[in-house]
Structure 1
Amino acid sequence: MNKTVVAMSLALIFSGQALAETEQEAENQSTLVRLENEASKAELLTATNAPAKEEGRLHGTLGTNIEVERVIRDDGVNEGKLKYTLAQGSFRHDDLPGWDFGFYSAREELFNGNLKHADYDRGVNSIQEIWANRSYGQAWGSVGWGVKLAGESIDKRTTPEVKVFGNYNITDRLDIHGYAMYHVEYNRGSSEFPYWEIEPGFGYKIADNMGAWLNFRYQEGTLKPKSGDNFVETETIIKPGIWYSWGDLSASLWGEFGKFEKENDQTGAHEWSEDYWKLGISANYALNSSWRVFGEVSYKDIKFEDNSNSEFDGYIPLFIAGINYSF
């Protein structure tokens, strides 16, 4: 996984929005936990505010969006990507309580230069994912597990993944939640990257239409090329946020404050580091009982240090807009 160009984190748990007072509410809270890394914050707002559908036995969400990301650095890097989510969905069936299934299909067009006059000479990447999760709702919260298989065309990458997750309601307003994940990125013919992460956190329900969260994430993996030295990559992130709902309109303000480091596994030599902060605003609006539009804007400020101890700055602006249909 190339962490030099840091993509937008898909991480958010809207803890406290559905604190479990019944087994069904516990399962709703579990849904938020297991969606970690599978949806943007704006889409999680959509998922948590989607009305329950009574008709039919199959329920879920289908959606599409567009994402624009730029990476600008003082060392001369000026690049970005246009990402089209062709289709994504998550589903559950009344005859399979506790189970949910999903898929994701996207296309990335990678470019150099400014967006208006970009050179699309960095290639095109196709992303495909499928997953399944099983949760067990309890009066005190929930636990569960999930599996995912992902692939990317640009580096012939195949990534199997396993995850466990859960939440525990300390009070009717305060909960603790989290997940642990392990996956291996197989870049065909070039490298493999075993990788794990954990993310515990707290959620607090300020009011029926307002809440806050504070999560902590630690990630570690070892990049193992077919030839040459191995490299250890670690990242530590603090993730605060707050959300508010006005009924049909919901929004959140959130941040990420972290450090990424890359070292030579054989010599211990420093290869690369990033110290960063990121702020974002996410929102979604209900057009009717089934359709919702959502958007997200974020800005990431980064300080880099390379293996010669040279320091330079950079930033990553990101924009997402999309629409979801729930049934």
Structure 2
Amino acid sequence: MPKIGNIELPDFPLLLAPMEDVSDPPFRRLCKLHGADLMYSEFISSEGLIRDAIKSRQKLDIFDYERPVGIQIFGGDEEAMAMSAKIVETVQPDLVDINFGCPVKKVVSKGAGAGVLKDVDLMVRLTKAVIKSTSLPVTVKTRLGWDEDSINIDEVAERLQDIGVQALTVHGRTRAQMYKGHSDWSHIARVKNNPRITMPVFGNGDIDSPEKALEYRDKYGLDGIMIGRAAIGYPWIFNEIKHFFKTGEHLPVPSMKDRIEAARNHLIWSVEWKNERVGVVEMRRHYTNYFKGIHGFKEYKQKLVTTDDLHQLLDVFTEIEQVFGDYQFA
């Protein structure tokens, strides 16, 4: 069973990826309900935390029912990373995770996220600064390397473990790939099979079905899987994978009623956590995923993404239930 510090995880845990503007407490709550074993906050800018930027501070909200839960930080300055780790510690998450994988230009151009893959010495210094400033376990999420010609995950894993990193999650793409093409887990398996590596190694990238999760578990021999985009609007994926591992059979697909209940709860929790205006607007990006591929749904989707008032939205859900309650999924 993989352990991170004192956190005991089940055999082959399923982790929910930190995703910007997605992995907030309402979304994490749904994923936890449906079987996620370890979750992370959205990534938080170390400079933003120190400046007391409200959005950064709000991302520190964690709740006991989510545990174990990690808070993920990013940045390119040692002092800022050390200070932000101290701030993170005050809300008592179970671990601190460092993002060395985000490929987005505005992050990379600050020498943070995947930008650090070009400079492993800097990555080590930044990580050391965090480890020194907190008593929490420190983990890292990164990519294979900057591009095909500079895959350096083997060196990265060894050097991070040597300074005290307690688990590593690797997205099986390079920075140059962004989210395109296929992830290549053979490099992650090589890290796991390195006799020097004793920390848990988790794989991330392209897991979107129980079959694929099983295939990758058996083929690559990692300690667990992190799931990101496949969980958006579909938190059931965690329990579906676990059930498939145990039985080789599929759980029934979530019914229309299940989907309506999940989307409605997600909306209510978002409004409770953020406030009505922000909660209503930020939920709009999720509806497409909850109600994907449903014949004749266009008119209702339109209502969901244009209605501003919570009570009216709840009426729309009631209407959807009346019209589509018995909808059969193929």
TM-score above 0.5, yes or no: no
More strand by share: 1
The TM-score normalised by the length of structure 2 is 0.31
The TM-score normalised by the length of structure 1 is 0.31
